[in-house]
Amino acid sequence: MSSDISKKSAYRLHTTNFIVYCLILLAIYLIFFALWRLDTAPRTDDAFAYADTITVTPEVSGRIINLTVTDNQAVKKGQILFQIDPRPFNEALNRAQANLDVLNNEITLTQRSVNAQKFGALSSAILIERSRATLSQASDTLNRMEPLLAKGYISAEQIDQTRTAKRVAQVQLDTALVDAQRAAAAISGVDALLAKRAAAKAEIELAQINLGHATVRAPFDGRVISLKTTEGQYAAAGHSIFTLANTGRWYVIANFRETELAHITPGRFAQVYLLSNPSKHFNGIVESVGYGVFPDDGGSEIAGLPHVPRSINWVRVAQRFPVRILIDKPDPELFRIGASTVAILDAGTHRTQP
């Protein structure tokens, strides 16, 4: 009887030891598996959702007469966000167009005057040629008659008349030359007016651009953030009205320890989930890995010398660097800028970079 009891006790002890050994081996396996998993598929809960944003600022100044969006509203690309009173810009456009019309009429009238001046210059040139011909004829006549005076074939009075005719022809030529110079100098041209017309056209184009800027549209699908104004507010050019988040591309900025960066490269697949809905996971891909953060424990310079604070802390905390993960098919109703997320990198899976 006692022998049976001792056998049962030994069996129980052996079974207990076996179970303990198995549990120890299982614990060792789980530890090594967890370490391997953390090394090949790191994860972090130091992450947040992010989307590119712009500050919506008008390019012209004026009073807002139509605000078509509300705070946190989703908008589509090309949708009107708000409108600035267009009347001043319409007036500027009409004035610029009127100035161009007046200038075109002035150019037409001036061109007619220039054409008349050119005709006058051409007439002066013809008169010069006629005066030169008359002078040449008077000179030739005088040259033929002077030898005849000594032979008594003509009288001295005739010679005097011929000489007078030559002098008159010379005066007429000199007068024609002066008139021709005066006519040439009087030709004004329309070059200056044409330059003014180019400036007037530029003013019209600028007025049209300003009129177009009076209506502000969404450059992409997005969501209005931090809207704190209403109709009637005076909007100054270059001053922000609200923020617009680009909901077409969502990212997760995951801060991984520097000891894990060796295996994190662009193109690596990842999974993320939001703390607001942990049951729903989203696929993503690493787009870039950060290459700089501001060191909290030194690294700045004072008077040109590196500043390294003294420390007796023997525990060195690994620095974290941001990893940008592009989300595939994000849920626009769940993702919010700054929402807490968890990022898990898949082991050994990459997408070929283009």
| Residues 71 and 159 occupy one common structural domain | no
| Residues 107 and 191 occupy one common structural domain | yes
- Contacting residues for 299 by C-beta, under 8 A, at least 6 apart: 306, 307, 308
| Residues 145 and 202 occupy one common structural domain | yes
| Residues 78 and 221 occupy one common structural domain | yes
Which position has the higher pLDDT, 139 or 245?
A: 245
| Residues 100 and 150 occupy one common structural domain | yes
Which position has the higher pLDDT, 160 or 239?
A: 239
| Residues 201 and 226 occupy one common structural domain | no
**69-88, pLDDT tens digit by residue?**
999 999 999 999 999 999 99
Which position has the higher pLDDT, 153 or 139?
A: 139
| Residues 102 and 176 occupy one common structural domain | yes
The predicted model scores a pTM of 0.63
How distant, in Å, are the alpha carbons of 142, 218, 325 from that of 150? 14, 106, 120
**Nearest residue to 81 via CA among 230, 218, 219, 222:** 218
| Residues 104 and 130 occupy one common structural domain | yes
| Residues 190 and 115 occupy one common structural domain | yes
Residue 305 forms part of a structural domain = no
Q: Provide the residue range defining the domain that includes 232.
A: 62-84+213-242
| Residues 172 and 109 occupy one common structural domain | yes
Q: How confident is the model at residue 353 (pLDDT cuts 50, 70, 90)?
A: very low
Residue 76 forms part of a structural domain = yes
**Nearest residue to 42 via CA among 345, 273, 290:** 345
| Residues 143 and 224 occupy one common structural domain | no
Q: Is 343 exposed, middle or buried (0-12, 13-18, 19+ CB in 10 A)?
A: buried
**CATH number, residue 228:** 2.40.50.100
Alpha helices, DSSP H, located in 151-187: 156-186
| Residues 118 and 199 occupy one common structural domain | yes
Q: Which backbone phi and psi does 153 adopt, to 5 degrees?
A: -75, -25
**235-256, pLDDT tens digit by residue?**
999 999 999 999 989 999 999 9
Whether 36 shows a pLDDT value over 60: the answer reads no
How many domains are contained in the chain? 2
Q: How confident is the model at residue 299 (pLDDT cuts 50, 70, 90)?
A: low
